[in-house]
Amino acid sequence: MAYVELHDINKHFKKFHASKDINISIEKGKLVALLGPSGSGKTTILRMIAGLEQPDSGEIVIDGKVVNNVPGSERGIGFVFQNYALFRYMNVYDNIAFGLRVKKVPEDKIKERVTELLTLINCEGLEKRYPSQLSGGQKQRVAFARALAPNPQILLLDEPFAAIDAKVRLELRTWLRQMITKLNITSIFVTHDQDEAIEVADEIIVTNQGRVEQSGTPQELYKNPATPFVAQFIGNSVEVKNYDKFRYFDKTGETSVAYLRPEFVSIFKKGESVQFANSAEEAVVEDIIFRGSNIEVKVRIHDNLISAIRSINNPEIKVGETVDVFIYRIYVVQGDEVILATNSSLADEAIVI
């Protein structure tokens, strides 16, 4: 049952149309990512749910009630800001207690709650520290505790990992995911990093140019991108201009644009592959990038530069070498939709062998 819903939301900033007919429905207890490039309107959606922005039209519904005219502080929301916005002149204790104090909660209850949260975020003993004396990860946890202190029903996080360095970021992702699962609180976070969204979220809402492109589980988005944008944005896709020139792919739509992911492509040294010997195409290697655990090979084929991943255990390939390329699948753009096309030689594999 949907807990947070947005119906036909539109929002302008002066002439900029930031949100276009947004419809979203989020179930209780889910951890949802709003994913999109910068300027795609994801933060605006989050800020409207929080009551920091008012939509020009449309309804925001939380727990069955329209909350458009309810101030953000009364929507049962906790908000973790991008740079945490911890109050610099208050120590950790006072920061976490702030939301309880303004609600006139008795001081002994506040103490109980703050202590409980400090234990939860593993920051016991830091209550007297000021924000400037905390590490990035600690700040993030304190911001999390401050947002949770008044017992919100929904937790909103604006780019929660953006301000943290790469190494700690991975740890914090896991931590946050565990925390939210443990507390079973409906959470929505904004990110521009697809790995982050895929790894952390139960469900992803992809935004682009003020619209919602697609929403679904990470697997769904990955397997069945609904729009050309999603096909191109998720995975390290490259655009292919004339896919119908590839062997065993026939033109199905009006245009011949398609998206190709590295994992859809295999590259073999001459004579290496028996299986695809007859159905592969020849191409010349233009670049080789060592990625640590594997090797990315870039080849030019029918005027398109495409990538494939090769295991480091396979025989070495050099730049300028002519290789066999076999493409399993591509996402073909048909108008506003995307269709998965499979190499037709795979259908009559028996004949090939």
Distance CA 104, CA 178 (A): 31
Binding part of the chain for another protein, among 23-31, 66-74, 249-257, 339-347 by CB under 8 A, reads: 66-74
Q: In the complex with another protein, which residue's Cβ is closer, 155 or 234?
A: 155
Cβ distance to another protein smaller for residue 77 or 164: 77
* Rounded least distance, CB 315 to another protein, Å: 47
Q: Give the burial class of 5: count Cβ atoms within 10 A of its Cβ; 0-12 exposed, 13-18 middle, 19 or more buried.
A: middle
Q: How far is the CB of 276 from another protein (least distance, A)?
A: 54
Measured CA to CA in angstroms, residue 59 lies from 64, 201, 233, 256 at distances of 11, 25, 29, 40
Give the phi and the psi of residue 280 in degrees, each rounded to 5.
Answer: -80, 165
Q: Could you give the CA distance from residue 203 to residue 280 in angstroms, rounded to a whole number?
A: 37
Residue with tokens 């290697």, as numbered in its chain: 285
Contact between 40 and 209 under an 8 Å Cβ cutoff? The reply is: yes
* 126 part of the interface to another protein, by CB under 8 A: no
Region 221-260 residues binding another protein, contact defined as CB under 8 A:
none
Total residues in contact with another protein, by rule CB under 8 A = 31
Subset of 132-171 contacting another protein (CB under 8 A): 132-133, 146-147, 149-150
49 vs 317 by CB, closer to another protein: 49
Q: Which of 27, 87, 270, 348 binds another protein (CB under 8 A)?
A: 87
Q: Which of 31, 77, 155, 330: binder of another protein (CB under 8 A)?
A: 77
Evaluate whether 245 touches 301 at the Cβ level (below 8 Å). Answer: no
Out of 130, 222, 248, 328, name the contact with another protein by CB under 8 A: 130
H runs (alpha helix) in 31-183: 42-50, 92-101, 107-120, 136-148, 166-183
- Do residues 92 and 124 make contact, with C-beta atoms less than 8 angstroms apart? no
- Scanning 51-59, 186-194, 202-210, 271-279 for contacts with another protein by CB under 8 A, the matching segment is 51-59
Q: Does 74 bind another protein (CB under 8 A)?
A: yes
In angstroms, what is the minimal distance from the CB of 175 to another protein? 21
Three-state SS at 345: helix
Q: How far is the CB of 148 from another protein (least distance, A)?
A: 11
Q: Which two tokens stand for residue 227?
A: 């729009």
Q: Which of 81, 175, 222, 328 touches another protein (CB under 8 A)?
A: 81
Asked if 69 touches another protein (CB under 8 A), the answer is no
What's the closest the beta carbon of residue 144 comes to another protein, in angstroms?
13
Contacts 24+ apart (CB under 8 A), 148-151: 148/78, 148/117, 148/120, 148/183, 148/185, 149/78, 149/96, 149/97, 149/98, 149/99, 149/100, 149/113, 149/114, 149/117, 150/78, 150/99, 150/100, 150/103
Q: How far is the CB of 124 from another protein (least distance, A)?
A: 20
CA distance 228 to 258: 8
Task: Give the nearest distance from C-beta 43 to another protein in angstroms.
Answer: 12
Segment contacting another protein by CB under 8 A, of 79-87, 179-187, 212-220, 305-313: 79-87
Residues that bind another protein (CB under 8 A): 50-54, 71-74, 77-79, 81-83, 85, 87-90, 98-99, 102-103, 130, 132-133, 146-147, 149-150
